Chains A and B, each alone.
Chain A
Amino acid sequence: MNIYQPHLMRIVEITDETVDTRTLKLEFKAPAMAREFKFSAGQFGEYSAFGEGESTFCIASSPTRQGYIECSFKSTGKVTQALRRLGVGDTVGFRGPYGNHFPIEEMKGHSVVFIAGGIGLAPVRCAIWNVLDLRDQYKDVTIVYGARTVGDLVYKRELEEWSRRADLRLCLAVDPGGETPDWKGEVARIPTAVEKAVTTAEDTFAVLCGPPIMIKFTLPVLARLGFAAERIYTTLENRMKCGLGKCGRCNIGATYVCKDGPVFTAAEMGRMPQEF
């Protein structure tokens, strides 16, 4: 089998997160793959809609939940629109897992702050569930999540579930103007919400994902709170084709997002050419 050939997976469940964002739950068709497939939180794959091509998404489900994977995507291009046309029982292709992962092991015994904006919650959600499924091995868990409007919040059922849990702190926010009359969360952009929700960086790791503009304005907030750049983790979402270091598309200077990433610390990103 050549390295570009995908495994076949069956769509077993479809969840519409927002008007244009959808989550597919996928199971490997080959029993051996279903048994042997392993990945780590933060890794990604190449998902294919046969006839349209491949797209790169992170694996949005947690490695602690075996037997399936999930991916969440916004319909923006040819492949994501084609994936959206598929129904339960239909077949998609998958290559992966590729890339590095979040420091799930290193974070054990410490507190973790998860910060996400919009569909940036997908990779963070994978790490969140990974940590929550091993909850007794971590100290405090804080989740700060926001989107432009209430309608743009993804994984609503899980947000609901997290809000009821006593072993984590959840802070939800929408941009000013994005709130509904019954909105009970914050009306603030992510950096402001983080400033309110996070009080200390002591013994704490930060995991954050979202649009480049959110990352840009949240990093200084985390720095002011005292987070060392080595303890702030984020993922880069550069365009890719192969995911294997060959197609020459995702590099930032000498750093290949597909091979060296997609997870980077703020310290690593500071050392890269500012071309992302």
Chain B
Amino acid sequence: MTQRFLSHADLGALVAAHRRVIAPVRARDDARQTDYLPIRALADAALGAALPRRSLKEFFLPPTEVLLSYRQTKEGVEIKEVPTEAQPQVVLFASPCDAAALEVVDKVMDWEYRDELWFGRREATTIVGLLCSSMDSSCICSAIGLGPDSPRGSDVLLTPVEGGYLAQVITPKGEALLSDCAATEASAAAVAQAEAARQQARQKVENNAPAIPDGFAAWLEENFDHPVWRTMALRCHGCGACAGVCPTCHCFDIVDEHDSSDEGVRRRNWDSCQTAKFTLQASGHNPRQGQSERFRQRIQHKFSIYPKRFGEILCTGCGRCCRVCAGGMDLSEILGGLIALAKKGAEGSGR
């Protein structure tokens, strides 16, 4: 991994040189909050503020997108394909939890059938991550095995140092981005300063939740019928807000919208396993009838099913689900409770 120094001016030039740059900016409706939005100049970006309200997911899997359009003609139906290539874009100051999530979701999007709409946008995007400084008590990235300085999913990771940023070049795409830019070799002082900042950031979240222990995925699978799911789910309203803000939740629905007498589009829309009709079958049978089954599905999918199928936890510890939950459900509390049960079970069985 090469390390460079980028001055504020260098970064400003980088923003100016790219047609589409996305960065956290102050939310229009709430100055304490930020959203990932396109920026024109570096000064538009809001630094050191809260984690953006929504993750980067929407730039790769939009809340709603057209999969195809069709026209009914006398001869039948004409389908118009949608392009799978996307316009090049740069995401600047991505939070490490949001950058990592993209790499995690890549696995399911490439599972036997490659989702070209997702990968078209992934390939056209360069991600510049930033050492996280906006953590709060809901952040559990460390427990998941990531951290505020995790390079995962970023092409370049920035750490603020005196006069600018230390840039760690992580991928060839990151190298290409910086090759157009006046970045210089990082001084030993800058490297040391960055390391100190990273260590400080890590300490801020390390104690938010216990680390996911080995064998946790298997414990969850074995304890599918544990009574704890019922008690834990009591506060869940089934609104699905957690899935909307989650950087890794990727479930979707496919619907047709008939626009005029003979034309329409097929759309993919975000969906959530927390809603009652998600698994409702045509016969009226619903395998997940109650909210506790739906809550269990969400936790099992993230911490047992996805790890089993893809070797990855489907969570990057961003904490957004806790921040938006109307029922006050807290993932660190939920995981803490489940981990304690798993440990107790292991002791009880003499393992």
For window 252-273 of A, CB contacts with B under 8 Å fall at 252-254, 256, 259, 273
Q: Does A276 contact B (CB under 8 A)?
A: yes
A242 surroundings in chain B (CB, below 8 A): 252, 254
Q: Are A275 and B252 closer than 8 Å at their CB atoms?
A: no
For window 64-98 of B, CB contacts with A under 8 Å fall at 67-68, 70, 72, 76-77, 79, 81-82, 84
Docked Cα-Cα span, A50 to B61, in Å, equals: 23
Q: Does A100 contact B (CB under 8 A)?
A: no
What's the nearest-Cβ distance from chain B to residue A112, in Å?
A: 27
Q: Does B18 contact A (CB under 8 A)?
A: no
Q: Are A4 and B251 closer than 8 Å at their CB atoms?
A: no
Query: How would residues 49 to 70 of chain B score, 1 for a CB under 8 Å from any chain A CB and 0 otherwise?
Result: 0000000000000000001101
Checking A50, A51, A76, A247 against B254 with a beta-carbon cut-off of 8 angstroms, the contacting residue is A247
| A255 to chain B: closest residue by CB | B305
Docked Cα-Cα span, A8 to B70, in Å, equals: 11
What's the nearest-Cβ distance from chain A to residue B122, in Å?
A: 14
Tell me whether A245 and B84 are in contact in the complex, defined as CB-CB below 8 angstroms, given that A91-B77, A238-B279 are known contacts. no
Q: Are A275 and B256 closer than 8 Å at their CB atoms?
A: no
Q: How many residues of B contact A (CB 8 A)?
A: 52
Q: Does A234 contact B (CB under 8 A)?
A: no
| A248 to chain B: closest residue by CB | B251
Interface set of A (CB-CB < 8 Å, partner B): 1-6, 8, 10, 29, 48-55, 74, 76-77, 80, 90-91, 93, 211-212, 237-239, 241-242, 244-254, 256, 259, 273-276
| B257 to chain A: closest residue by CB | A51
Docked Cα-Cα span, A212 to B293, in Å, equals: 18
Docked Cα-Cα span, A6 to B287, in Å, equals: 28
Q: Are A239 and B279 closer than 8 Å at their CB atoms?
A: yes
Q: Are B79 and A253 closer than 8 Å at their CB atoms?
A: no
A49 surroundings in chain B (CB, below 8 A): 256
A55 surroundings in chain B (CB, below 8 A): 282
Docked Cα-Cα span, A259 to B309, in Å, equals: 12
A80 surroundings in chain B (CB, below 8 A): 282
B285 surroundings in chain A (CB, below 8 A): 211-212
Docked Cα-Cα span, A77 to B67, in Å, equals: 22
What's the nearest-Cβ distance from chain A to residue B326, in Å?
A: 22
What's the nearest-Cβ distance from chain A to residue B119, in Å?
A: 10
| A79 to chain B: closest residue by CB | B256
Docked Cα-Cα span, A50 to B186, in Å, equals: 58
Q: Are B309 and A211 closer than 8 Å at their CB atoms?
A: no
Q: Are A91 and B76 closer than 8 Å at their CB atoms?
A: yes
Q: Does B16 contact A (CB under 8 A)?
A: no
Docked Cα-Cα span, A50 to B255, in Å, equals: 10
Q: Are B254 and A53 closer than 8 Å at their CB atoms?
A: yes
Q: Are B113 and A238 closer than 8 Å at their CB atoms?
A: no
Q: Are B108 and A4 closer than 8 Å at their CB atoms?
A: no
| A118 to chain B: closest residue by CB | B283
Q: Are A253 and B256 closer than 8 Å at their CB atoms?
A: no
B115 surroundings in chain A (CB, below 8 A): 2-3, 246
Q: Are B251 and A247 closer than 8 Å at their CB atoms?
A: yes
Docked Cα-Cα span, A1 to B83, in Å, equals: 9
Tell me whether A253 and B254 are in contact in the complex, defined as CB-CB below 8 angstroms, given that A5-B79, A29-B76 are known contacts. no
Checking A10, A90, A248 against B301 with a beta-carbon cut-off of 8 angstroms, the contacting residue is A248
Q: Are B288 and A246 closer than 8 Å at their CB atoms?
A: no
Docked Cα-Cα span, A148 to B193, in Å, equals: 76
What's the nearest-Cβ distance from chain B to residue A103, in Å?
A: 21
12 cross-chain CB contacts under 8 A: A2-B68, A5-B68, A55-B282, A211-B285, A244-B112, A249-B251, A249-B278, A249-B279, A251-B297, A273-B225, A274-B225, A275-B224
Interface set of B (CB-CB < 8 Å, partner A): 67-68, 70, 72, 76-77, 79, 81-82, 84, 108-109, 111-117, 221, 224-225, 250-256, 258, 264, 266, 268, 271, 273, 278-283, 285, 287-288, 293, 297, 300-301, 304-305, 308-309
Q: Are A53 and B288 closer than 8 Å at their CB atoms?
A: no
Docked Cα-Cα span, A247 to B272, in Å, equals: 10
Checking B70, B113, B224, B283 against A273 with a beta-carbon cut-off of 8 angstroms, the contacting residue is B224
Tell me whether A245 and B108 are in contact in the complex, defined as CB-CB below 8 angstroms, given that A212-B285, A239-B280 are known contacts. yes
Q: Are B109 and A4 closer than 8 Å at their CB atoms?
A: no
A239 surroundings in chain B (CB, below 8 A): 278-282
Q: Are A8 and B76 closer than 8 Å at their CB atoms?
A: yes
Q: Are B281 and A53 closer than 8 Å at their CB atoms?
A: no
A54 surroundings in chain B (CB, below 8 A): 254, 266
Q: Are B84 and A2 closer than 8 Å at their CB atoms?
A: yes
Q: Are A238 and B287 closer than 8 Å at their CB atoms?
A: yes
What's the nearest-Cβ distance from chain A to residue B114, in Å?
A: 7
Q: Are B287 and A276 closer than 8 Å at their CB atoms?
A: yes
Q: Are A241 and B252 closer than 8 Å at their CB atoms?
A: yes
B256 surroundings in chain A (CB, below 8 A): 48-53
Q: Are A74 and B81 closer than 8 Å at their CB atoms?
A: no
Checking A50, A91, A248, A254 against B250 with a beta-carbon cut-off of 8 angstroms, the contacting residue is A248
A3 surroundings in chain B (CB, below 8 A): 113-116
Q: Are A247 and B252 closer than 8 Å at their CB atoms?
A: yes
A248 surroundings in chain B (CB, below 8 A): 250-252, 271, 273, 301
Docked Cα-Cα span, A210 to B67, in Å, equals: 33
Q: Are A254 and B221 closer than 8 Å at their CB atoms?
A: yes
Q: Are B76 and A74 closer than 8 Å at their CB atoms?
A: no
| B70 to chain A: closest residue by CB | A50
B279 surroundings in chain A (CB, below 8 A): 238-239, 249-250
Docked Cα-Cα span, A67 to B231, in Å, equals: 55
Docked Cα-Cα span, A5 to B79, in Å, equals: 9
Counting from the closest, the 7 A-B pairs by CB-CB distance are A248-B251, A91-B76, A51-B258, A273-B224, A91-B77, A76-B282, A244-B113
Checking A1, A50, A77, A276 against B77 with a beta-carbon cut-off of 8 angstroms, the contacting residue is A50
Tell me whether A5 and B288 are in contact in the complex, defined as CB-CB below 8 angstroms, given that A10-B76, A51-B264, A91-B76 are known contacts. no
Tell me whether A247 and B271 are in contact in the complex, defined as CB-CB below 8 angstroms, given that A51-B258, A252-B287 are known contacts. yes
